[in-house]
Amino acid sequence: MSFKGTITKDGERYFVSINPATLESIGELRIMNGDEISRAVERADKAFPVWSGISLEDRAAYLNAVKDQIIKNFDAIAEIVSREMGKPRIEAVIAEIMVAVDLIDYFVKRSSSLLADEPIPMHLAKVIKSSKLTYRPYGPVAVISPWNYPFAIPMGSIIMALLAGNTVLFKPASDAIFIGKKIEELFNAVNLPDGVFNFIAAPGSAVGKSLIGPKIRKIVFTGSVQVGKQVMEAASKYLIPVVLELGGKDPMIVCKDANIELAANGAVWGAFTNAGQVCASVERVYVMKEVAEEFTKKVVEKTQKLRIGRDTDFNVEVGPMVNEGQLHIVEDHIADARQKGAVILTGGERLKEFRGFFFPPTVLTGVSHSMKCMTEETFGPLLPIMVVKDEKEAVEFANDTIYGLTASVWTKDREKGEALARQINAGTVTINEHAYTYGLPETPWGGIKDSGMGRTHSKIGFMEMVVPYHINMDHFPDSLNSRPWFYPYSREKYELFKGLISAFGTGAGAKIKNLAYSAKLLLSSKTRKKIF
């Protein structure tokens, strides 16, 4: 078996999963039909009042139990992530398991304060009115996750959704179906109430047909721009709010005063971690001409030292690509760049000595924005390096994209680094680092333009899981049976509001005069009767 896809047996459809490093079968999993998905949505809807009605402390206890299950099953999780995705187990630990455990711990400890009622400071009406925001969960939330980080990405949204009081329907990527199944096992192990967590084993085509409907109240989707737009279109039929974390073409700017050794190490890791299959990969580098030769030489040397292969003894840095289709995109981008004059410094051709979907980390120079590798998301182990004359030109090129997820600036001058960061159109800009902030639960993650909308992680991401409700309280004396804006209208009311509005004008004298006039109207028993 040398493919990932579906088969039909005895009238039932099954997902087929393979290890992309060996092309050996991992197994088959039956695909749910439309009726089964609809019943899962019904269960989530029915469970919502029960789950949202229990105390936050009880919900937190369940999720702490999930955290303990992750730790208990640490090796098994790392193994299935490595087998189904082909990634080194160390990457499964650092970028998947650790991210999930830390996020659970972080939000469980802070959810009470995040969900507490929030007073709204009043200005004009602070004596007679008070307001507060209170937060309530949406209802059933659909979490649709990708294959590149198939454990950490869905776990983050699932945990925040459940903690806030929502129920969840979790549909993993077809290429990561057994990792999704492992997540289901973790939640089943803590005996959540029926219908709170629902695993959906279905292809992407089922999302619009069976999953997205009027009982889904929020969607969190991570994946490609094309599919993200389809999800948004399907959601629009029912006015379902969405969080979309889509693609990226993330730039790295290397200033002439950068620590070149650090920048080269950052570029190699940022471009080739997870075989480059990261929405926040270093997908293009803009390096100042003064340091371009030194930087490029170091990048090539470090790239050529990377160990490629199947992780058997924690002895590789770069694994295979997840599927053959993604590998062909890398080949297409390289062929396009070569045809237009780019130079391949290392890599460039599929590794024939491996049985799996291996492609070597590849470094290109002589690139331009006429090439796909500089404008379209590659999502593979490809690092194009472009020489620029100055930082202004670098920022212009960095912003010349339909994407806006992350970016990085490399300089020893942190003040300059921040100034450049403020000019780059991206959801996150790091200085002397790249991509790692997804592992920080307190920082927001998300992009602009075709990189999506909304945020995950951080307080902002957590509040995506709740609806703000406004409560306003009246503080007029109980003896007053009316309000100045109630009927009937009168000349006195007109004069009162004219004086109050005029008090907003500039000039202390006019302000005092108009406030005094309004106060006189309110204090006069004759006019007060016509105002109240």
Q: Are residues 205 and 320 in the same domain?
A: no
Q: Are residues 484 and 409 in the same domain?
A: no
Are the CB atoms for 252 and 295 separated by under 8 Å? Answer: no
- Domain range spanning residue 87? 41-247+460-469
Banded model confidence at residue 288, pLDDT cuts 50, 70, 90 = very high
The pLDDT score that the predictor gives to residue 527 is 80
Residue 222 lies in a domain: yes
Looking at the 3D structure of the chain, how many domains does it have?
3
Banded model confidence at residue 72, pLDDT cuts 50, 70, 90 = very high
Are the CB atoms for 337 and 315 separated by under 8 Å? Answer: no
Residue 126 lies in a domain: yes
Residue 14 lies in a domain: no
Residues facing 387 on adjacent strands: 287
Average pLDDT over residues 367-392: 98
Question: Of 406, 334, 30, whose CA–CA distance to 181 is shortest?
Answer: 30
User: With 60 as the cut, is the pLDDT of residue 1 above it?
Assistant: no
Distance from the first to the final alpha carbon of the chain = 83
> For residues 463 and 133, what is the distance between their CA atoms, to the nearest angstrom?
12
Banded model confidence at residue 510, pLDDT cuts 50, 70, 90 = confident
The pLDDT score that the predictor gives to residue 3 is 54
Average pLDDT over residues 365-390: 98
Q: Are residues 421 and 511 in the same domain?
A: no
Residue 219 lies in a domain: yes
Q: Are residues 375 and 266 in the same domain?
A: yes
Question: Of 227, 285, 191, whose CA–CA distance to 450 is shortest?
Answer: 227
What pLDDT, in 10s, does the model give residues 293-303? 999 999 999 99
The pLDDT score that the predictor gives to residue 123 is 86
Q: Are residues 321 and 243 in the same domain?
A: no
The pLDDT score that the predictor gives to residue 480 is 87
The pLDDT score that the predictor gives to residue 524 is 78
> For residues 388 and 511, what is the distance between their CA atoms, to the nearest angstrom?
57
Q: Are residues 241 and 278 in the same domain?
A: no
Eight-class DSSP state of 238: T
Are the CB atoms for 3 and 28 separated by under 8 Å? Answer: no
User: Domain with 77 in it: what CATH number?
Assistant: 3.40.605.10
Portion of the chain with pLDDT greater than 70, in percent? 99
Q: Are residues 366 and 506 in the same domain?
A: no
- DSSP helix/strand/coil, 19: coil
User: Domain with 288 in it: what CATH number?
Assistant: 3.40.309.10
Q: Are residues 319 and 394 in the same domain?
A: yes
Residue 409 lies in a domain: yes
Are the CB atoms for 19 and 84 separated by under 8 Å? Answer: yes
Token duo for residue 403: 């994407």
Residue 54 lies in a domain: yes
Are the CB atoms for 51 and 69 separated by under 8 Å? Answer: no
> For residues 407 and 280, what is the distance between their CA atoms, to the nearest angstrom?
8
Mean pLDDT of the chain: 95
Phi, psi torsion values for 506, nearest 5 degrees: -80, 155
Q: Are residues 134 and 228 in the same domain?
A: yes
What pLDDT, in 10s, does the model give residues 134-177? 999 999 999 999 999 999 999 999 999 999 999 999 999 999 99
DSSP string, 253-275: EE-TTS-HHHHHHHHHHHHHGGG
Task: Quickly count: other Cβ atoms within 10 Å of residue 224's Cβ.
Answer: 16
The residue whose two tokens read 């949406």 is 138
Residue 517 lies in a domain: yes
The pLDDT score that the predictor gives to residue 2 is 45
Q: Are residues 236 and 260 in the same domain?
A: no
> For residues 194 and 176, what is the distance between their CA atoms, to the nearest angstrom?
25
Token duo for residue 391: 């930082």
The pLDDT score that the predictor gives to residue 532 is 81
Banded model confidence at residue 521, pLDDT cuts 50, 70, 90 = confident
> For residues 484 and 531, what is the distance between their CA atoms, to the nearest angstrom?
5
Residues contacting 532, CB < 8 A, separation 6+: 480, 481, 482, 483, 484
What pLDDT, in 10s, does the model give residues 35-52? 999 999 999 999 999 999
Residue 448 lies in a domain: no
Are the CB atoms for 403 and 448 separated by under 8 Å? Answer: no
Kindly list the catalytic residues.
Answer: 245, 279
Average pLDDT over residues 186-205: 96
Q: Are residues 155 and 261 in the same domain?
A: no
- DSSP helix/strand/coil, 435: coil
Q: Are residues 60 and 194 in the same domain?
A: yes
